[in-house]
Amino acid sequence: MNPSKCVFGVISGKFLGFIVRQRSIKIEQVKIDVILRILEPQNIHELKSLQGKLAYIRRFILNLVGRCQPFSRLMKKDVLFQWDETCDKAFKSIKSYLMKPLVLVTPIPGRPLILYVPAQERSVGILLAQKIDNGKENALYYLSRAVKPNELKYSPIEKLCLALIFSIWKLKHYF
């Protein structure tokens, strides 16, 4: 350990690109500004760079996989990279989402957790939340995953069950 980087007894601190407080964690504004300044990708390498930056903050973005769905066809082999209107719309949607403050809180022991499970045609998302004293809900964690080709034929209720199983598997330390 580097003694010059060790700090004890502080209210908040920077850690791996995040600002960590006693009861919450948020992304450093510098990290968000980098993504907001990115121009629309002109090739697959720039798109992969964008997706890598988004993957780093995925736990802060509701249904990231669903939001990035239009980019998936551009990532396939032997497909001409052609940025179209749906890609542009998704890109702008992600940027506008990142302009709002993204804060996750730590769970308060003894209080019930709330699990929201939206299922779309090509992705499933999960929001783990918890009510606080004033009746508002705080986000604890966001998850999402793409629906695999064999799961595309699932009915909506089966996709919800798929999302529940995925959430139990990923969030088992909360339950």
Residues 92 and 112 in one domain: no
Structure tokens that stand for 126 in this block: 């999960």
Say how far apart CA 27 and CA 68 lie, in whole Å.
20
Angle (nearest 5°) at CA 109 between 21 and 61: 55
pLDDT above 90 (res 90): yes
State residue 118's pLDDT score: 87
Residue 4 within a domain: no
The string of pLDDT tens digits covering residues 38-87 is 999 999 999 999 999 998 888 888 888 888 988 988 888 888 888 999 99
pLDDT above 80 (res 13): no
Residues 90 and 112 in one domain: no
Domain count along the chain: 2
Q: Provide the pLDDT confidence category of residue 129 given band limits of 50, 70 and 90.
A: very high
Q: Is 169 helix (H, G, I), strand (E, B) or coil?
A: helix
Find the mean pLDDT for residues 88-94: 93
Residue 13: count of CB within 10 angstroms of its CB = 10
State residue 22's pLDDT score: 74
Q: Of 31, 63, 98, which residue is a domain's last?
A: 98
Pairing of strands 18-21, 103-105: unpaired
Residues 116 and 163 in one domain: yes
Kindly report the average pLDDT of the chain as a whole number. Answer: 87
Say how far apart CA 131 and CA 51 lie, in whole Å.
32
CATH, residue 119: 3.10.20.370
Domain that holds residue 43: 13-98
Say how far apart CA 168 and CA 171 lie, in whole Å.
5
Contact 141, 60 (CB under 8 A): no
Taking 3-state DSSP, the helix, strand and coil percentages for the chain, each rounded to the nearest 5, stand at 40, 20, 35
| CA atoms within 13 A of residue 128's CA, in its CB half-sphere | 26
Residue 152 within a domain: yes
Residues 85 and 131 in one domain: no
Nearest to 68 by CA among 84, 91, 46, 85: 91
Find the mean pLDDT for residues 32-38: 90
Nearest to 56 by CA among 18, 82, 91, 113: 18
pTM, entire model: 0.76
DSSP 75: G
Residues 118 and 91 in one domain: no
Q: Provide the pLDDT confidence category of residue 1 given band limits of 50, 70 and 90.
A: low
Q: Is 138 helix (H, G, I), strand (E, B) or coil?
A: strand
